[in-house]
Amino acid sequence: MTSRPTLWMAALVLAAGLSPAPAQEPAPAPQPTIVSPPNAAAAPGAEPLDPSLSPECRVPGSKLYTLAKLRAVKMALKDKRPVRVLAVGSTSAGPGASATYPMKLETALERSLPDVDVVVEARGLQGEIASGAAERLRSMVADVEPDLVIWQVGTHDALARVEIDAFGEALDETVKWIKSHEMDVVLVDPLYTASLADDAYYSSIVRKVQEVAAREGVPLVQRYEAMRYLSGRAEKSEGHMLGRQFRLNDLGLRCMAEHVTRAITLSLLQPDTTGTAGPVLKSDLPAAVRDPNGPQVNPTPDGH
C-alpha cells in the first residue's frame, strides 16, 4: 500500500510542474538545474518565464527566489496535520487591498499543495526591526506557534534610513531565534520602486536581507527583483502593482502570494541530505522530470 507521505510528495511534485519518469529507463547522469543567486544577471530573453504563475506575475526563477529546506513544513505534511503559517509585514494585515492578502496566500498555497489544509494567520508589523519590531515579532511567533513564518522585511528600515549593520544584526538574530524553536522562515525582501532604484542605501538593505537568508539557510522571495522585472516590461510600470503610501495594490498582492507560494513549493523539494541552499539537481527530485503542463500556482484563470 502506498503511504500517505509518499502521496503528498507525489502531489507536491505535480504541483511544482513535474511528472514521474518512466520506471524502466536508466536514469541519465545528473544535470544541475541552477537557481541563480539574487544578483545574477541574465541576458534579456535568456531565461524562460515561470509558466506556473499568472501571466501578469510571470518572472524568471533567477528573479524570484533562492531555495532552502523547510523541515518544519515537511514534518507537518508527513504528520498529516494542517500547516500553520504566520505572515508578517506591512502588507500582511491592514485596510483595503492589504486585507485580502492572507486569503490570496492561503488560496495559492492550498492550490499548490493539493489535499493539504493551510491556515494563514496574518499580523501587521509596522516600524523598523532595528528599533524594536523584532521583539514584537517574537511575541507573535510565541502566540501563534506556526510551522512557517513568512516575513516581509526591510522596507520600513530602508525608508527610515536605519543603520545597516544594526538592521542586519537584528534580522540575523531574529531568524536564528525562530529556527531555534523548530519553525521555518521565508524572508521577503523590500518593495521595488523606480524612485529608489538608484538609491545606494536602499539597495544595501535589499542586499543585507539576501545575505542573511543565504547565511542562515532560509528561502528568500526576491520581491525587489521580481517587481523590477515586471515594471520593466514595455507595456507596464511600477504603478500597476504599487498603490498609495508605498503599498501593494490588489494585483501586487496577488503576485506576491503567487511568488511566495512558488518559493515554498520548490523549497519543499529540497533534499534533506544536502546543503540548505544552492543549486537544485534534477537527480535530487523524487524520480521526476519537468512537465510544462503541470498545475499552476495562480489561484485565478489566465483570463483574469
- Evaluate whether 212 touches 241 at the Cβ level (below 8 Å): no
- Evaluate whether 139 touches 123 at the Cβ level (below 8 Å): no
pLDDT at 272: 73
Note the pTM of the prediction, 2 decimals: 0.76
pLDDT at 11: 54
Cβ neighbour number for residue 249 with a 10 Å cutoff: 16
Give the torsion sign (CA, 92, 96, 99, 105).
Answer: negative
Cell of 11: 502531489
- Evaluate whether 65 touches 220 at the Cβ level (below 8 Å): yes
What residue segments make up the domains of the chain, in order of their start?
61-289
Q: Which residue has the cell 522585511?
A: 153
SS3 content of the chain, % helix, strand, coil (to 5): 45, 15, 40
CATH 3.40.50.1110 is held by the domain 61-289: yes
Rounded Cα gap, residues 280 and 79, in angstroms: 25
R_g of the chain computed on alpha carbons: 18
**For each of the chain's 304 residues, which pLDDT tens digit applies?**
445 455 555 555 555 555 444 444 444 443 333 333 334 344 455 689 999 999 999 999 999 999 999 999 999 999 999 999 999 987 665 555 556 889 999 999 999 998 999 999 998 877 788 888 888 899 999 999 999 999 999 999 999 999 999 999 999 999 999 999 999 999 999 999 888 999 999 999 999 999 999 999 999 999 999 999 988 875 555 556 665 556 788 888 999 999 999 999 999 998 875 443 333 333 333 332 234 334 456 654 433 3
| 234 half-sphere exposure, CB direction, 13 A CA radius | 1
48 burial type by CB count under 10 A (0-12 exposed, 13-18 middle, 19+ buried): exposed
